[in-house]
A and B are shown apart, each in its own frame.
Chain A
Amino acid sequence: MAGDAPKPPAADEDPVELISRSRYRRMLLRVVLSVSAVALLPLLTMSAIAYYQYQAAFRAELTRPMVRFAEAGKQSLESFLSERLAALALVLRETRIDELRDPARLDSLLVGMKQTFGGIVDLGLIDEQGVQVAYAGPYALTGRSYAGQPWFQEALARGSCVSDVFLGYRNLPHIVVAVHQELPAGPSVVLRATIDTDVFHWLVRDRGTRRPGQESVCLRCHSLAVPPFSDAFIINDDGVLQTPSRLYGDVLTRARLPALPLSTGTELVETTDADGSPVVAAWARIARSPFTLVLLSPLEPLHAGWRSLGRELVLFPSISAILILAIIIGGGIYVVRQAREEDRKRAALYHKMEYTNKLAAIGRLGAGVAHEINNPLAIITQKAGLLRDLLTISAELPSRERMVDLIDSVLKSAERCGGITHRLLGFAKHMDVQREAIDLDLLLREVLGFLEKEAAYRSIRIDFAHGHEPPPILSDRGQLQQVFLNIINNAFAAVEDGGRIEIDINQTGSNEVAVSIADNGIGIPEPQLEQIFDPFFTTKKGAGTGLGLSITWGIVQKLGGQIGVRSRVGEGTCFTVTLPIDGESGQER
């Protein structure tokens, strides 16, 4: 027991323990969640909106030129083809058939058309049976039959036709535009022209540049170039490439293309190509022809560019969010810790107030009772005293000695009652504290002086030690004597004969001195430890008033100090009284 560190009384610790930790964890969680919601939600929402808007803008940046290109390409190709069909129709209408049958005339027409429109390789006049009756151009194709050609049949049926790219007799890829005319006085004829696929290719891929080998002719064109990373080409209705593609094959091969929905307008769709790579496709159907202009762009460059920007867009808010969250959590922990400390102090104060109020209430009741008893007790004392006086002076009374003994016994009991009433009155009284400089060492020796005889009689060893010379403290001498007398008396009651009591004085703070009084007595069971400062609680059955420690507690509080106890049954008890050196600390009552 001796040497145990002083500990504040259990009564002061309980409320702190009562405040559950989980309550503060929930409080911290609520603070962090609510502040995070207020602080982070707008940031994250704004970041998400920015992210998706940037993504959409980034995508539009890629797809808008593609749509523009497809639209412009469609217009160019449609006007290119319709101009040539119109030219052929004009020639048929304005020129007599016999003139057209004249190769020289046809030649001059070809030259004129080449100069006016460009892109035309040759001209041919085909009769109703499909035989080319006149031809102007670089190949020897007069007399050839085209009866079996689909374009010829279509021209007969519809009046005009634009063919797919095919090899034909010349064994070179070319396109035929043909116009059919019913002659009023005879069989119908078809005038056809061959379009150079190089021109077609140029229209698709290299618009805006001068066409090779056609220095003087300016085709009506737009200056839009193919967007970077993109592939532009024409396919026919069967998916056969009509112009070579950088990525999907050469002319007249079947392109390995994603399925494109049929549409008359300009369309844009994200899909995957035959290899499974993501692509964005823009396409436009060329009117009055079997052609579809296709622009394909792989999404990978878009994704790569987006990934780089997206990383920055994610990184910045993420770092901000982590910083904010760290600040919120740190702040939350600080705030909750402060709140907990405040609660702890408040709870301790409430507990103390409750205890003090309880003491005061009991004190008032006790004082009332004591005061009422005091007067009859004084009468008993005086009457018994008078009786004793009378007995003492009347010598001849029989059994006089016995009567005096009995009266003495009554007086002794009355005196004991008087002691109790005095203590009860003392319990309630609000005496002013008379502070003076006190040498604790001397004061304790004085107190021990009262008990010297009993210690010697019972062979109780008292060890009195202090490390350094304890500083004098400012306090009330009489009340401090009562405090230590009460505690040391209790220690005497607790130890067996031959027991040991250790008294130790230590300066425990700049303004704090602790006096510990430890015994090796019977000890106090744990459940009783919390009650020992309660009024009327006693373990000395029939011998104590149960007011000693309660009064002690009250005095120590009044002197601005604290009293603590720790005990183990069978080992002993240690009371520690902590007192302010300047007499000002603590709450005075």
Chain B
Amino acid sequence: MEALRVLIVDDEHEWVSALTERLGLRGFAARGVTDGEAALARLRADPFDVALVDVKMPGLGGLDLVQAIKAEWPELPVILLTGHSSARDAERGLAMGAWDCLLKPVQIDDLVRVLRAAARGEVTP
């Protein structure tokens, strides 16, 4: 089975690198970037099966990024990650077309399950 291609977008480099490696260990082809612009550039360069986007980022924020991704790649499922337990951000993100919204810190097994479900194109949980 071909590895799922996951793009991780978060301004915390350390977090991105650790998560990229952990997902790699679990059979994902994970790539990490630390800002929205880089994420768009990466998406234009390579195809991805799913994007994992942090809500709060400097420059192009997570919600704006969701909007941009959905405009260019409407089929790409985007999973939002938020440090705030803010229902409003989650609601807005979902309204923009995000596939799901997860609360940080997220358990790796939960994340893996959600990524697989999103990549399979399941209906929003």
Contact = CB atoms under 8 A, between A and B. Distances in A.
Binding between chains A and B: yes
Contact of A389 (B12, B22, B85, B103): B22
B18 A379 contact: yes
A390 B18 CA distance: 11
A382 B25 contact: no
A386 B88 CA distance: 31
B86 interface: yes
The CB with the most chain B CB atoms within 10 A, among A375, A414, A425, A431, is that of A375
Contact of B12 (A378, A393, A422): A378
B40 to A, nearest CB: 23
Nearest to A381: B105
Contacts of A426: 85
Contact of B18 (A383, A393, A414, A422): A383
Which of A371, A377, A389, A414 counts the most B-chain CB atoms under 10 A from its CB?
A389
A407 to B, nearest CB: 13
A379 B14 contact: yes
| Main DSSP-derived SS at the A contact region | helix
Contacts of A418: 105
A422 B25 contact: no
Interface residues of B, number: 19
A385 B84 contact: no
Contacts of A371: 83-84
Interface in A429-445: 429, 431-432
A374 interface: yes
Residues of A in contact with B, size category: 20 to 34
Most chain-A Cβ atoms within 10 A of its Cβ — which of B19, B25, B26, B83? Answer: B83
B19 A382 contact: yes
Contacts of B108: 385
A217 to B, nearest CB: 129
Given A382-B15, A393-B25, A429 B105 contact: no
Contacts of B12: 375, 378-379
B116 interface: no
B21 A422 contact: no
A429 B84 contact: yes
Interface of A: 371, 374-375, 377-379, 381-383, 385-386, 389-390, 393, 414-415, 418, 422, 425-426, 429, 431-432
Given A378-B104, A383-B18, A389-B22, 11 more contacts: A371-B83, A378-B12, A378-B83, A381-B105, A386-B18, A389-B21, A389-B26, A393-B25, A422-B103, A429-B84, A429-B86
The list of the 6 closest CB pairs from A to B, nearest first, reads A382-B18, A374-B83, A381-B105, A379-B14, A378-B105, A386-B18
